[in-house]
Every structure is written in structure tokens, then in C-alpha cells.
């Protein structure tokens, strides 16, 4: 009898222990924030491919001829407007300038003397002492030295201009993409120095098929992403539509401009431009934060009777802060938008507001 009572007590104690451990191991309800699946009419994008090009490309040339004495830039350098690109040797030019200024001073002195002689012969001619020939010779000499001064001054102006242009500077801020000279090379007037591009603004040209071009307007906003920058999406705008089709392809060039102050986008990158074209269609939308991706599988987590239920989906068009979902979802269903990253199937959840407080049920 004692053995039976002891066995019964042991079984009851074991049952209590098992029950306690079961309750202790049950996971607590995880707090989540939810949003409802919406249904709206949106336009589906049409994506066209183009290349990113700089807003300005310039082959910087020399305005004067000269021997390159300094070339402080190289390919890939970023230069600001006014930065020095190349400097010519100026010593011979400075010598010629000094010689010209000295010649001008001599010509000025001879002109002043000729002017005095001209006035003197003019007075003598008026008194009948000097002949007409002497007067004309004095007048010619005065004019000759005046012309000599003008000619020398033109040389001085040219030398000073050449000295000023012997320092070649960047006409705008940008990147050096090609070196066209080097130290010790003689450059003729108009000869190339560097190629410079400005990528503060990027221009993209895409070829729009004629069935789309009538639906594209100047000023339209577009979304642009780049193969080389998979996580970057930027907004651009249509700057112009060239009204001349490619006769073979029947496409029209459409130009898009993008602000690129941080220079993240590089010239030549492949760009994919999405236009909102066509009639709106009815789609299901959820906030972008509702999308979870694991092992290349996208899904959303719905709240079903207080538990988490992952539902595989595909995504479609983006609309403001929402994104289209394609899958077995119903309008009005609650999808988790906060706290969905670590939820497991069947895990208990507790719906809360954005501030973490329990969500109040609507009173009927």
C-alpha cells in the first residue's frame, strides 16, 4: 500500500513538473506593427535602356602656342573651375615683351621730337621762312612715329595676352578623362590639352518606340536604376523629346536629366529608365517594409488568429511608399510591417501601434 501511494505521488509530481516546463518553454507573443493590404489603380512602368552621359564634355584647347612647362593634372583628377591644367614656358615671351616696351619708349621719344619739329616748321611756313616740302617732311615724320608707336603697342598687347593665356585653367568643374599633352611638348594655337567632363548632372538618352512616345511629356518624372548600382534608385525628369525618329527602328530619342551632385553615377553606366505609361490597372499594394526576403524568396507575414503566417509573393510596380504584391493575399488582410524579420511560422504575435502600445480594437 505504501509503495502504491509513493508511486501515485511521484506520478502527480512528474505531471506538475511536465506541465510547468511546457508552459515555461512556450514562446511569448512577439509585438508587431501591421498594415492592411490595399487595392488601388496604378500605372505599370515601361522600362527602356540607355547610357549615363555627362551634362558637359569639353576638349580644352590652348588659345596660344607654346612649350608645356608644367602639367599638374592626370586622368581621373577632379578639378574645380579656375584650377590650373597646364602652364607654358614664358621666359622668351617675357624677354620679347621687355624689348617691345623699350622700343615703344624710344618711339615715343622720337614722336615727341617729331611733333615739336612739325610745330616749328608750321610756324616757319606761316612766316614764309620754311618751304612747303620741309613742312610736309616734318608732318610725315610725325605720322610715321605715331604709327610706329601703334604697331609696337599692338605687339605689347599680343605678348601680354599670350602671357595671360600661358596658364590654361579649367573653364568649369569636372573630371579629367583624357590627357592630350605632356611636359616638354609644343602646342600650337588651338591644340588640345585635356578632355573634361561635368557629371554634376547626368543626361540619359533612351530610344522610345513610337507606340509610347505620344504618352511621354517633357517634365515627366521617371525612376532610374543602374546595373552597376543595384541598390540605388533615383528620380529623373524628361528634358526633351527629339521629334525625329530613327527610320529603321522607328524609335524617338528621349532625354532624361538626373541630379548627381555626389558623383555616385559615372559616365557610361547602363541606365534603366521606368516610365509610367498606359491605362491604370487594379493591383494589391502593401508598404515596402512588409516585404521580407530569405534565400532569394520573397514573402509577407500575415496575422492569422494571433499567429504569424508567411505567404510567398512576387513584387510588381512601386507606388509612392507602397509596392504591388502578387500572391494569395486578400484586400484588408493585416500584414506585418515591423517585427517581421525574425518571425517563425505559427509564432504567437501581439499587434501594437507604432509607439509599441497595444492596438485598440474598434468599438462597434
Looking at residue 84, which CATH number applies to its domain?
2.40.50.100
In the predicted structure, residue 8 carries a pLDDT above the cut 50:
no
pLDDT tens per residue across span 296-340:
899 999 999 899 999 999 998 877 789 999 999 999 999 999 999
For residue 97, is it within any domain?
Answer: yes
Q: For 8-33, what is the mean pLDDT?
A: 53
Question: Which of 156, 175, 195 is the C-terminal boundary of a domain?
Answer: 195
In the predicted structure, residue 11 carries a pLDDT above the cut 60:
no
Residues 261 and 357 in one domain: no
Residues 301 and 357 in one domain: yes
Residues 247 and 326 in one domain: no
Q: For 197-219, what is the mean pLDDT?
A: 94
Expressed in angstroms, the distance from the first to the final Cα of the chain is: 62
Residue 123, pLDDT score = 80
Question: Which of 122, 150, 165 is the C-terminal boundary of a domain?
Answer: 165
Q: CA Rg, the chain, in Å?
A: 42
Residues 176 and 227 in one domain: no
For residue 142, is it within any domain?
Answer: yes
Residues 147 and 261 in one domain: no
Is residue 317 within 8 A of residue 19, CB to CB? The reply is no
Looking at residue 137, which CATH number applies to its domain?
1.10.287
The proportion of the chain whose per-residue pLDDT surpasses 70, expressed as a percent, equals 90
Residues 209 and 266 in one domain: yes
Looking at residue 222, which CATH number applies to its domain?
2.40.30.170
Q: For 67-77, what is the mean pLDDT?
A: 96
Please indicate whether residue 247 or residue 93 has the higher confidence score (pLDDT).
93
Residues 107 and 138 in one domain: yes
Mean pLDDT of all residues belonging to the chain: 87
pLDDT tens per residue across span 132-186:
888 788 889 999 999 999 999 999 999 999 999 999 999 999 999 999 999 999 9
Q: For 271-281, what is the mean pLDDT?
A: 88
Weakest-pLDDT range from 14-28, 159-173, 239-253, 287-301:
14-28
Residues 285 and 358 in one domain: yes
In the predicted structure, residue 189 carries a pLDDT above the cut 50:
yes
Residues 233 and 310 in one domain: no
Residue 298, pLDDT score = 93
Residue 295, pLDDT score = 87
Considering only CA atoms, which of 318, 263, 253, 254 is closest in space to residue 290? 318
Q: Give the three-class secondary structure for 309.
A: strand
For residue 21, is it within any domain?
Answer: no
Residue 10, pLDDT score = 41
Is residue 149 within 8 A of residue 104, CB to CB? The reply is yes
For residue 3, is it within any domain?
Answer: no
For residue 50, is it within any domain?
Answer: yes
Q: Give the three-class secondary structure for 345.
A: coil
Range of the domain at 112: 91-165
Q: How confident is the model at residue 363 (pLDDT cuts 50, 70, 90)?
A: very low
Residues 172 and 161 in one domain: no
What's the whole-model pTM score? Answer: 0.65
- Measured in residues, the chain has a length of 364
The alpha carbon dihedral of 231, 235, 240, 245 has a sign of positive
Residue 129, pLDDT score = 81
Euclidean distance between CA atoms 131 and 125, whole angstroms = 6
Please indicate whether residue 209 or residue 45 has the higher confidence score (pLDDT).
209
Residue 248, pLDDT score = 87
Residues 224 and 104 in one domain: no
Please indicate whether residue 9 or residue 242 has the higher confidence score (pLDDT).
242
Number of domains in the chain: 4
In the predicted structure, residue 233 carries a pLDDT above the cut 80:
yes
H or E element, residue 252: strand 251-259
Euclidean distance between CA atoms 57 and 171, whole angstroms = 11
H or E element, residue 118: helix 91-126
For residue 23, is it within any domain?
Answer: no
In the predicted structure, residue 249 carries a pLDDT above the cut 70:
yes
pLDDT tens per residue across span 118-135:
888 788 878 778 788 887
Residues 271 and 230 in one domain: yes
Amino acid at each position: 500500500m505504501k509503495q502504491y501511494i509513493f508511486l501515485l505521488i511521484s506520478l502527480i509530481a512528474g505531471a506538475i513538473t511536465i506541465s510547468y516546463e511546457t508552459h515555461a518553454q512556450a514562446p511569448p507573443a512577439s509585438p508587431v506593427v501591421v498594415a492592411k493590404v490595399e487595392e488601388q489603380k496604378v500605372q505599370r512602368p515601361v522600362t527602356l535602356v540607355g547610357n549615363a552621359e555627362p551634362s558637359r564634355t569639353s576638349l580644352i584647347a590652348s588659345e596660344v602656342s607654346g612649350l608645356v612647362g608644367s602639367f599638374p593634372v592626370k586622368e581621373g583628377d577632379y578639378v574645380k573651375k579656375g584650377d590650373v591644367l597646364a602652364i607654358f614656358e614664358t621666359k622668351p615671351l617675357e624677354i620679347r615683351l621687355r624689348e617691345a616696351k623699350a622700343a615703344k619708349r624710344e618711339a615715343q621719344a622720337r614722336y615727341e621730337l617729331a611733333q615739336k619739329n612739325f610745330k616749328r616748321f608750321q610756324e616757319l611756313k606761316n612766316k614764309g621762312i620754311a618751304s612747303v616740302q620741309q613742312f610736309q617732311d616734318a608732318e610725315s615724320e610725325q605720322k610715321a612715329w605715331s604709327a610706329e608707336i601703334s604697331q609696337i603697342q599692338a605687339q605689347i598687347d599680343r605678348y601680354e595676352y599670350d602671357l595671360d593665356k600661358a596658364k590654361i585653367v579649367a573653364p568649369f568643374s569636372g573630371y579629367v578623362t583624357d590627357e592630350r599633352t605632356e611636359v616638354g611638348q609644343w602646342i600650337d594655337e588651338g591644340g588640345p590639352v585635356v578632355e573634361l567632363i561635368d557629371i554634376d548632372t547626368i543626361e540619359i538618352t533612351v530610344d522610345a518606340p513610337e507606340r509610347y512616345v505620344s504618352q511621354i511629356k517633357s517634365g515627366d518624372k521617371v525612376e532610374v536604376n543602374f546595373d552597376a548600382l543595384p541598390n540605388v534608385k533615383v528620380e529623373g525628369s524628361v528634358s526633351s523629346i527629339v521629334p525625329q525618329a530613327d527610320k529603321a527602328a522607328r524609335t524617338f530619342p528621349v532625354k532624361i536629366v538626373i541630379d548627381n551632385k555626389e558623383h555616385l553615377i559615372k559616365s557610361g553606366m547602363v541606365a534603366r529608365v521606368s516610365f509610367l505609361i498606359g491605362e491604370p490597372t487594379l493591383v494589391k499594394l502593401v508598404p515596402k517594409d512588409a516585404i521580407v526576403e530569405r534565400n532569394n524568396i520573397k514573402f509577407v507575414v500575415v496575422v492569422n488568429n494571433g499567429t504569424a503566417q508567411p505567404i510567398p509573393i512576387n513584387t510588381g510596380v512601386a507606388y509612392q511608399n507602397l509596392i504591388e504584391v502578387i500572391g494569395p493575399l486578400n484586400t484588408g488582410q493585416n500584414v506585418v510591417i515591423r517585427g517581421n524579420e525574425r518571425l517563425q511560422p505559427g509564432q504567437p504575435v501581439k499587434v501594437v501601434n507604432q509607439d509599441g502600445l497595444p492596438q485598440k480594437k474598434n468599438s462597434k
